Amino acid sequence: MCLPCDYQVNPLVGEDSSVSFQKNGKVMEPELQQQEQINVTKSESVTVLKVLEPGTLATLPPATAPDDQKQQIGRKVSNFLEQLPTYLGTFFQEYKLPIISFGLLVTGVTALRISLALLNALNDVPLLPPTFKLIGIVYTTWFTLRYLVKASTRQELAAELGWTKKEIMEGKISDSLDE
């Protein structure tokens, strides 16, 4: 055995027949490794081997338990997937109104966010915000002069709004769009 130069081996023959190492004049005890203990308590079951005749090899019984578990799990998944359309149909029939309401809410919020994103994008284009403000001021001025200054035009506007309200309530607008 080859040791580094600092070590000297001094075999001591005596009661314990041990070997000591010396490094720079100091005696160093050899480190003993403890044997690892094997844990024999496992959660798995132990299979007892049957030997028919002395001198023959024992055979293990066929391992069918894990396959049975896999087959049971496979059957459960298969049954669930077979019943899934029925479950979903029943769920939708039971919660039809809340599902539709939630879908409309999500669609409305998404449309609003897209509209706001487009307006912000247009706002970043130079000269468009002042142009839109000018168009708004001109239209507001025209509407005020056209409908709100004279009493006869105010009555005309009120009649027009009443007629539009009546059509909406009676559903004539949807009928006229179909034609």
Q: Is the pLDDT of residue 22 over 50?
A: yes
- The percentage of residues in the chain with a pLDDT greater than 70, rounded to a whole number, is 61
Q: Is the pLDDT of residue 56 over 80?
A: no
**Predicted local confidence at residue 57, as pLDDT:** 72
Q: What is the pTM of this model?
A: 0.38
Buried b / exposed e over 137-156, threshold 16 CB at 10 Å, is eeeeeeeeeeeeeeeeeeee
Comparing C-alpha atoms, which of 148, 145, 170 is closest to residue 157? 148
Q: How many CA atoms lie within 13 A of 165 on its CB side?
A: 6
Tell me what the mean pLDDT of segment 140-168 comes to: 93
Tell me what the mean pLDDT of segment 3-23 comes to: 51
SS3 26: strand
Residue with token string 């708004």 = 136
Tell me what the mean pLDDT of segment 78-96 comes to: 94
Q: Is the pLDDT of residue 157 over 80?
A: yes
Residue with token string 């284009």 = 125
- Band of pLDDT at residue 158, cut at 50, 70 and 90: very high
- Band of pLDDT at residue 67, cut at 50, 70 and 90: confident
Per-residue model confidence as pLDDT tens digits over 30-55: 554 455 555 555 455 555 666 667 77
Tell me how far the alpha carbon of residue 158 is from its chain's centroid.
55
Tell me what the mean pLDDT of segment 132-138 comes to: 95
Detail the DSSP E strand segments found in the chain. Answer: 7-11, 19-23, 26-28
Of 10-14, 37-41, 130-134, 141-145, least confident by mean pLDDT is 10-14
Amino acid at 116: L
